[in-house]
Structure 1
Amino acid sequence: MTVTTNRLEAAVQPTALGELVPSNVSELVGFTLARLGVGHVFGVVGSGNFSVTNALRKAGVAYTAARHEGGAATMADAYGRMSGKVGVVSTHQGCGLTNAITGIGEAAKSRTPLIVVTADTAASAVGSNFKIDQDGLARSVGAVAERVHSPASAVADTVRAYRKAVNERRTVVLSLPTDIQAAAVEGGPRRGRARSSATADRTRVGCRCRSGRAHTQRGAPRIRCRPRSPRGSEGDRGTGRGCRRVGGDLRRRAWPL
C-alpha cells in the first residue's frame, strides 16, 4: 500500500474530522493519527503525552497501558508485525523515550511500520532534567526522527511520519514539544469571548458605572449596568440611575430603589 501525502492531508484537516474538533495541537495530532488508520496504542501515560493519548482514545483507537515503556514498544512492534496495521507507542519526554529505546531499536532494525508519539521539552526549557537529543537518540538505533514544528504544520508533520512508516516500512519517532502541544489550532474552540477589531476600535462614550465597565458606542452586546448601591452610578450619585444597552444607543434608565 502506498500513501499519497496530498490526499491524506486533505482528509485529515480540522474541518474534515467530523465531530472531533481539536482545541490544541496535541489533540489535532491524535485525531489525525486516528483518521489515518493507526491500529492500537501502547504506552505509559505521563504529563507530556496525556493529551495526545487521550485524543487517540477519544477518536476510537484502542489503548493498552504498560508497566514500562520498553514493554509498550515491544508490544507495538509485535502488533505491527502480526496485524499489518501501524502500531503506536506513546511516551513521556526524556526518560519515557529512553525507557522504550530497546524496543524501538528492535522494531527499527526489523523494519516494522511503527510510530512512536513522544513528548519533547519546550525549546525554552534549556535546564530541564527531561531535555535530551531525542532526534539523535532515535537515529542512533535506526529509527526515523520526525517532529511537529508548529500548529500550522501539525497535520503535514503527522502525515509525513505516517507516510514514512507505511510506504518505507520504517519506525518513526514523532516528537511533540510541550509548548507546541498546548498551542491553539485554527478552527478549534477558543476560551473566552473573542472581540472583533472593529468593535475594539470604536470610540468609547463617557459612561463608566460603578460596575467598572465602559461601553462602546455602537454594536456592542446588550449590556445592563445596575448600580452597586442606591446612590446610583458614578456621576449621578443619589439619583438611582443606571445604564442599559438598547439597540445601538446608550440610554438612561431609573432603576427601582
Structure 2
Amino acid sequence: MKVYEAIAHALQEESVSTVFGLMGDGNLRLLTYWSGDLEQRYYGTRHESAAIAMADGYARVSGDVGVCTTTQGPGVTNAMTALVTARKARTPLLLMVGDVASFQQGWPQDVDHEAIFRAAEVPLIQLRDPATAFSDVIGALRLARSSRGPVGLNMPVDVQEMEWIAWNDEPPEVALTLGNSSDAAAITAAVDLLCSAKRPVIIGGRGAVEAGCAELLIEVGDRVGAVFGTSLRGKGLFGEHPFSVGVVGGLGSNLSATIVGEADVVLVVGAGMNDFTTMRGNLLRPGARVVRCDVVPERTTGDGVISLPGDAAEVVGALASELRARSVQREGYRPRANESLEGFTPESEFVKVEELDVLDARSLVIELDRTLPVQRTVVTDAGHFFGYPVAYMRVPDGRSFVCGIDFGSIGLGIGMAMGAAVANPEHQTVLFIGDGGLLMSLGDLETVVRYQIPLVVVVLNDAAYGSELQILRLFELSEDLSVFPDTDFTTIARAVGSRAVTLRTDDDMALLKAELISMDGPLVVDAKISRAVRAAWLEEAFRH
C-alpha cells in the first residue's frame, strides 16, 4: 500500500466520510484513491478558499472536524484567508496540503509551507516517514478535535509515493483539555447569587453550543426566572424560547440591550464577551454581578466575578443539579421583561426607507424570515449587511447559524454555505452575501450548480462596497471609489445553470415565493437594496 492510500484509510479510521478540496499535482493521487477506489464523498471547488470555507461551514454545523485538501505553493497561499478565518473561529479542521518532492526544491511551486502556517498560527504536521504516515493523519485529526482549531498536514509527493509499513505505525493518544473543573464552593456561590437575583440574565456563546448544554441552560433559566440572550456565535442556542431576546450587544435589538442592561446578575456560559457583545463595556449596568463559565480559565476572572472554569455541560449540569436539590422555582425577571417582549416586532425599531426600485434591506430580511422554511440553516458572509440576518433571521438551534465575520473577509460565505448544506441536508440552507462578496467568489457559484446543492443565495446588492461606502460617508469623504454599476446576478446565475429571481419592490416577493414552491436546486435571489440605510453596528464600530 502506498502512503497516499494509507492516508485515505486513516481518514476512514477516524470516521471521515467527506473531503473538500481543489485538485493539483500534490494531492491528485490521494483524491483519486479516496473518491474512486474507496468511493468516498468528495466536493471539488473552483478556488482553494472555497474548499477550506466548505470544510469550515461543514464543521460548524455538524460539530465534527472538517477535512479539506489543496496542492502545494499557490494552492496553500490561496487557502490562507479561509484558514485564518477558521483559526479565529476555533473551527476543528484538517487541511492536507501537497508539497514538492525533495528533488524539486526551487521549482515554481516550491515555497516554505512551515513559515506560511506559522504566520497563520496554525500547527503543521510534517509527513516525513512512511512508517508513521497512518498515525500522523490520525494524530492531526485528533489534535484538530481536541484543540478546537485547524491543523495542517504537509504531504511531499515523493513521501506519498513510498510504501507504507503498517506494523510500525501506532496512532498517538491526544488528551482533550477542558480547563480546570469548578469546585463545589463556586457552584454553591453561583446558585446563591442566581437565587437572590431580581433580574437574572443568561448569555450563552459558541462554547455552550459546542458543549450541547442548551437544555440544561434553559432549565437553569426557567428555575431562576432568567431572560436568555446569546453572543453572535451562540445565535439560536435557545431556539424559540419565549424569554429569549436573541443576540445581545452591538448586533442585537434595542430591546435586548435595554433588557440585558437592567440585569442585576448575569450568567455567561461559553461566550467571549468581546467589544461587540458588551457594546464596548457598556452593555451591563454598573454593579451587575457576573458569573462566568469557560474552558479558558483566564476568561472567567475579573473583579467581583464568580469563576466557573471548565466544560460548559459539566458546569451547567452542576448548577441545574443544585437548583433541583433546592427545589428552586422563581419568576425572577420574567414578569417585568414580558411587559416589553409581549407584542414586540422588529419593525418597531426603525423607519422603513421607501425608495424607487430598491428595497430596505432590514424589511426584506424580516420578510424573508417569515417566508423561508422554519427548519433552516442561515449563513452570512461578511459585509455591511451582515447584521440584518443576525438580528432578523430566526434559526432553530445553535448549529443552524454560521457567520463568516471572524477575520472580516468577504467572499467566504458561498463556501461556508455549501459546507453547511452538506452537513445538514434536512435544513434549507440560506446564504446572505453582498454583491462584492459574491463577485469575489463567483467561480464557486458553478460549484453550487454542479453538485445541485439546494442553496438559496440572497445577494443583498447595493452595487457598492457597502461598509466602505458608509465609512466614507461617516468621514465625509468622496464615495466614488466604493460604488459600481449594477450587476445583473439573475442573468449570471442562469448562465451557470441556477434558477434566479430579481427583487426590486415588495410586490416582487410573490416571484420568490413561487420559485421556492418548485425549488429543486440552487436559487439565486438578486435583491436590489438601498444605500440609504446605515447599519447600527457599523456606526458603533467606526464613529469615534
Identity of aligned residues (%): 34
- 2:150 is aligned with 1:157: no
SS at match of 2:64: coil
Which of residues 118, 125, 128 in structure 2 aligns to 1:139?
118
Structure 2 distance, partners of 1:81, 1:61, is 21
One-letter code of the match for 2:25? S
Which of residues 76, 81, 101 in structure 2 aligns to 1:102?
81
Identify the residue that residue 150 of structure 2 maps to in structure 1. Answer: 171
SS at match of 1:64: strand
Q: TM-score, normalised by structure 1?
A: 0.61
Which of residues 35, 54, 61 in structure 1 aligns to 2:32?
54
Structure 1 distance, partners of 2:144, 2:40, is 18
Deviation at 1:119, TM superposition (A): 0.4
Identify the residue that residue 231 of structure 2 maps to in structure 1. Answer: none
Structure 2 distance, partners of 1:143, 1:137, is 9
Q: 1:34, 1:56 within 8 Å by CA — same for their partners in 2?
A: no
Structure 2 distance, partners of 1:56, 1:147, is 21
Q: 1:42, 1:76 within 8 Å by CA — same for their partners in 2?
A: yes
Q: 1:43, 1:91 within 8 Å by CA — same for their partners in 2?
A: yes
One-letter code of the match for 1:70? S
Identify the residue that residue 20 of structure 2 maps to in structure 1. Answer: 42
- 2:106 is aligned with 1:115: no
Structure 1 distance, partners of 2:6, 2:99, is 16
- 2:8 is aligned with 1:30: yes
Structure 1 distance, partners of 2:54, 2:166, is 36
Structure 2 distance, partners of 1:136, 1:187, is 31
Deviation at 1:39, TM superposition (A): 4.1
Q: Which has more radius of gyration? A: 1
Structure 1 distance, partners of 2:38, 2:117, is 27
Structure 1 distance, partners of 2:64, 2:16, is 6
- Computed over aligned residues only, the root mean square deviation of the Cα atoms, in angstroms, reads 1.6
The aligned runs of 1:182-197 (5 Å cut-off) are 182-186=161-165
> 1:142-164 deviations in whole A, cap 9, x for unaligned?
21111211110101211211111
SS at match of 1:85: coil
- Aligned residue pairs, count: 166
Per mean C-alpha deviation after superposition, the further-off stretch among 97-106 and 118-127 is: 118-127
Structure 2 distance, partners of 1:74, 1:90, is 11
One-letter code of the match for 1:138? F
Deviation at 1:59, TM superposition (A): 3.2
- 2:106 is aligned with 1:127: yes
> 1:100-143 deviations in whole A, cap 9, x for unaligned?
11111100111101000110111222221111111221121121
One-letter code of the match for 2:8? G
Q: TM-score, normalised by structure 2?
A: 0.30
The aligned runs of 1:202-221 (5 Å cut-off) are none
Structure 2 distance, partners of 1:159, 1:139, is 21
> 1:27-78 deviations in whole A, cap 9, x for unaligned?
1111111221124211111121011122332434311110100111111111
Moved over 4 A (4+): none
Q: 2:131, 2:166 within 8 Å by CA — same for their partners in 1?
A: no
Structure 1 distance, partners of 2:14, 2:135, is 12
One-letter code of the match for 1:48? G
Structure 2 distance, partners of 1:66, 1:87, is 15
Structure 1 distance, partners of 2:14, 2:39, is 12
Which of residues 61, 64, 84 in structure 2 aligns to 1:82?
61
Higher fraction of helix: 2
One-letter code of the match for 1:148? L
The aligned runs of 1:220-231 (5 Å cut-off) are none
Structure 1 distance, partners of 2:31, 2:97, is 10
> 1:204-256 deviations in whole A, cap 9, x for unaligned?
xxxxxxxxxxxxxxxxxxxxxxxxxxxxxxxxxxxxxxxxxxxxxxxxxxxxx
SS at match of 2:78: helix
Structure 2 distance, partners of 1:64, 1:176, is 20
Q: 1:115, 1:165 within 8 Å by CA — same for their partners in 2?
A: yes
Q: 1:118, 1:176 within 8 Å by CA — same for their partners in 2?
A: yes
One-letter code of the match for 2:57? A
Structure 1 distance, partners of 2:111, 2:86, is 21
Deviation at 1:26, TM superposition (A): 0.8
Q: 1:135, 1:146 within 8 Å by CA — same for their partners in 2?
A: no
Structure 2 distance, partners of 1:164, 1:138, is 16
Identify the residue that residue 427 of structure 2 maps to in structure 1. Answer: none
Structure 1 distance, partners of 2:153, 2:53, is 17
Structure 2 distance, partners of 1:126, 1:100, is 22
Structure 2 distance, partners of 1:87, 1:54, is 19
One-letter code of the match for 2:86? A
